[in-house]
A and B are shown apart, each in its own frame.
Chain A
Amino acid sequence: QQPVQSPQAVILREGEDAVINCSSSKALYSVHWYRQKHGEAPVFLMILLKGGEQKGHDKISASFNEKKQQSSLYLTASQLSYSGTYFCGTGNYGGATNKLIFGTGTLLAVQP
């Protein structure tokens, strides 16, 4: 039931690109992406709603394919500050009571 993320871990050099995938076995209404640094709470990155939309700000963007029940997070020209663990949170319906089930996580390390 927990969404599966791939890869589990990735090491990049500054300026390189990365793609993180999130795959669910259930129909999705929304996908929420977060980044968590060690010992801190997750920080909200973006949310995608069903409709197959794509979103982005700065050098981070994401897509959502509701038919495939998958979402991907794209990090371009990575910076040191991008390091952390990325989680997707999947929701099955709309509204503020929409509980999220978090994926397995992807550890991203950006090196100078």
Chain B
Amino acid sequence: AQSVTQLDSHVSVSEGTPVLLRCNYSSSYSPSLFWYVQHPNKGLQLLLKYTSAATLVKGINGFEAEFKKSETSFHLTKPSAHMSDAAEYFCVVRYTGGFKTIFGAGTRLFVKA
């Protein structure tokens, strides 16, 4: 079955240190992968997307993600966390030829001063 797994429900970092949010997906020929961010009582905002072009994808607010087919992973990183990055992050996958959008359970990022 198609699935996406966010490996950490919570991640806590200090301001100015790197961020790593991990995401694995079930193998498929041509997945499209997305990362979204959600601040409290808000909708989801697109951070970045991978759609079979470059494997390293740069997004907004300094975030980037690397598509690794051999590891079926699409981890989200940022070199230096900011207090405003504290939010919930969702990894999302869609498969070519299919309609269904599969959301991960989310990772809550805490940023300590």
Query: Is B one of A's binding partners?
Result: no
Name A's B-contacting residues (CB within 8 A): none
Point out residues on B near A: beta carbons under 8 Å: none
